[in-house]
Amino acid sequence: EVQLVESGGGLVQPGGSLRLSCAVSGFTFSSYWMHWVRQAPGKGLVWVSRISENENTINYADSVKGRFTISRDNANNTVYLQMNSLRAEDTAAYYCVRGSRDFYGMDVWGQGTTVTVSS
Partner 1 sequence: DIVMTQTPLSSPVTLGQPASISCRSSQSLAHSDGNTYLHWLQQRPGQPPRLLIYKMSNRFSGVPDRFSGSGAGTDFTLKISRVEAEDVGIYYCMQATQFPHTFGQGTKLEIK
Cα 29 to Cα 9: distance, rounded to the nearest angstrom: 22
Q: How many CA atoms are closer than 13 Å to the CA of 82, on its beta-carbon side? A: 7
Residue 103 in the binding site for partner 1 (CB under 8 A): yes
Nearer to partner 1, 12 or 93 (CB): 93
Query: Which residues inside 23-82 make contact with partner 1, applying CB under 8 A?
Result: 35, 44-47, 59, 61
111 forms part of the interface with partner 1 (CB under 8 A): yes
Among 107, 110, 92, 101, smallest CA distance to 24 is for 110
User: By the criterion CB under 8 A, which residues form the site for partner 1?
Assistant: 35, 44-47, 59, 61, 93, 95, 100, 102-112
